[in-house]
């Protein structure tokens, strides 16, 4: 296995008396495509929030790119190369589609040592990203003019604009039609081929199975399986807990 990019050890998070995450251990290797599944309320989004620093975990550590990132704020983690998309798209509503992408370029890419993109280079990068997600003709529009699938693409493009090493896509396909799901999976695989490690959180099994090289299953805040997708979904425990048998 390649060098680990993300290492989570013994991560726990509770909300009052409710244990949302209970001693999660997981590793994601550089260049890998990992699927993370689990029933509603199993702690997937909480795990993402803890990894990205939106929520503070009570115990355990998150190591990214060889360094512990506990205690770092979200934007510092983003600058180190961790990007995420949100389960419900959260575009910057008063900025145009192109400017939505300009923000991570300005604040993440340009904030990295030794990088100083010129205004022209910024424009070019925005255009290139919009091309990638097929939103080029919507560049000057506001996010409210986009359709649901375009909004999801914008969400992914904004995460991509930060030039991450790791992309965590949190249910980026919920509510989309089958062909739209295929669109997004193809896009994600293409991004992975460019060298970006991707963790995909998803309910749509068809997408997960097509995308994932490895599958992790979370149930009630515990990791119950981790391995090759075909093997994992045949695991009796996973079937019982996740598929409700």
Partner 1 sequence: MRTRVFLLISIAVAAVVFFGARTVNNDYVFFAGYTVLQFIVLATAWNILGGYTGYVNFGSAAFFALGAYATVFFHKFYPLPIPLLIVVGAVVSGIVGLGMGYLTLRLRGAFFAIATLALAVVLQTLVVNWDYVGGSRGAYIIRPNDIAVIGPYIQYLFLLMLALVVIALTIARGIERSQLGYGFATIRDDELAAEASGVPTLRLKLVATTLSGALMGMAGAPFPYYIGYLQPSSAFGLEYAVNSIAMPMIGGTTSWVGPLIGAVLLGSLQQIATVTISSAVNLLIVGLLLVAFVIIAPNGIIGLVQGWTRGRAK
Could you list the residues that contact partner 1 (CB under 8 A)? 52-54, 73-75, 78-79, 83-84, 86, 90-95, 99, 102-104, 106-108, 110-111, 158-159, 161-162
Lookup: tokens for 61:
């550590």
Looking up tokens 């309320």 gives: 41
Lookup: tokens for 154:
């914008």
Identify which of residues 172 and 212 has a Cβ nearer to partner 1 in the complex: 172
165: closest CA among 244, 85, 64, 237? 64
CB atoms within 10 A of CB 120: 8
Identify which of residues 20 and 159 has a Cβ nearer to partner 1 in the complex: 159
Closest CB 75 distance from partner 1, rounded Å:
5
Closest CB 95 distance from partner 1, rounded Å:
6
Residues 6+ apart with CB under 8 A from 92: 99, 100, 103, 143
Closest CB 173 distance from partner 1, rounded Å:
19
Identify which of residues 83 and 204 has a Cβ nearer to partner 1 in the complex: 83
Identify which of residues 39 and 91 has a Cβ nearer to partner 1 in the complex: 91
Strands in the chain per DSSP E: 4-15, 18-29, 33-37, 59-64, 67-68, 82-85, 166-170, 197-201, 214-219, 222-227
Identify which of residues 154 and 224 has a Cβ nearer to partner 1 in the complex: 154
38: closest CA among 166, 198, 227, 215? 215
> From the centroid of its chain, how far is CA 177?
20
Pairing of strands 59-64, 67-68: antiparallel
Residue 80's H or E segment, with its range, is: helix 74-80
Identify which of residues 106 and 134 has a Cβ nearer to partner 1 in the complex: 106
Closest CB 204 distance from partner 1, rounded Å:
23
Identify which of residues 79 and 214 has a Cβ nearer to partner 1 in the complex: 79
Closest CB 240 distance from partner 1, rounded Å:
35
């Amino acid at each position: 296995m390649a060098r680990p990019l993300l290492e989570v050890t013994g991560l726990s998070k509770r909300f009052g008396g409710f244990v949302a995450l209970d001693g999660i251990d997981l590793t994601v290797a550089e260049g890998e495509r990992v699927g993370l599944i689990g029933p509603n309320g199993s702690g997937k989004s909480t795990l993402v929030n803890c990894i990205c620093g939106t929520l503070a975990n009570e115990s355990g550590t998150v190591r990214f790119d060889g360094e512990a990132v506990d205690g770092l704020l979200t934007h510092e983690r983003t600058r180190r190369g961790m990007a995420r998309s949100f389960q419900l798209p959260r575009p910057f509503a008063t900025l145009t589609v192109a400017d939505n992408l300009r923000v991570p370029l300005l604040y993440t890419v340009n904030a990295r040592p030794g990088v100083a993109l010129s205004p022209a280079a910024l424009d070019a990068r925005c255009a290139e990203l919009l091309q990638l997600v097929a939103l080029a003709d919507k560049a000057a529009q506001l996010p409210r003019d986009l359709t649901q699938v375009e909004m999801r693409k914008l969400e992914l493009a904004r995460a991509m604009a930060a030039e991450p090493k790791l992309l965590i896509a949190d249910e980026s396909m919920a509510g989309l039609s089958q062909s739209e799901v295929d669109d997004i999976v193809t896009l994600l695989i293409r991004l992975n081929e460019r060298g970006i490690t991707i963790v995909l959180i998803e309910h749509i099994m068809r997408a997960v199975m097509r995308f994932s090289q490895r599958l992790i299953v979370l149930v009630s805040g515990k990791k119950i399986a981790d391995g090759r997708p075909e093997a994992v979904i045949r695991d009796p425990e996973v079937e019982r807990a996740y598929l409700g048998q």
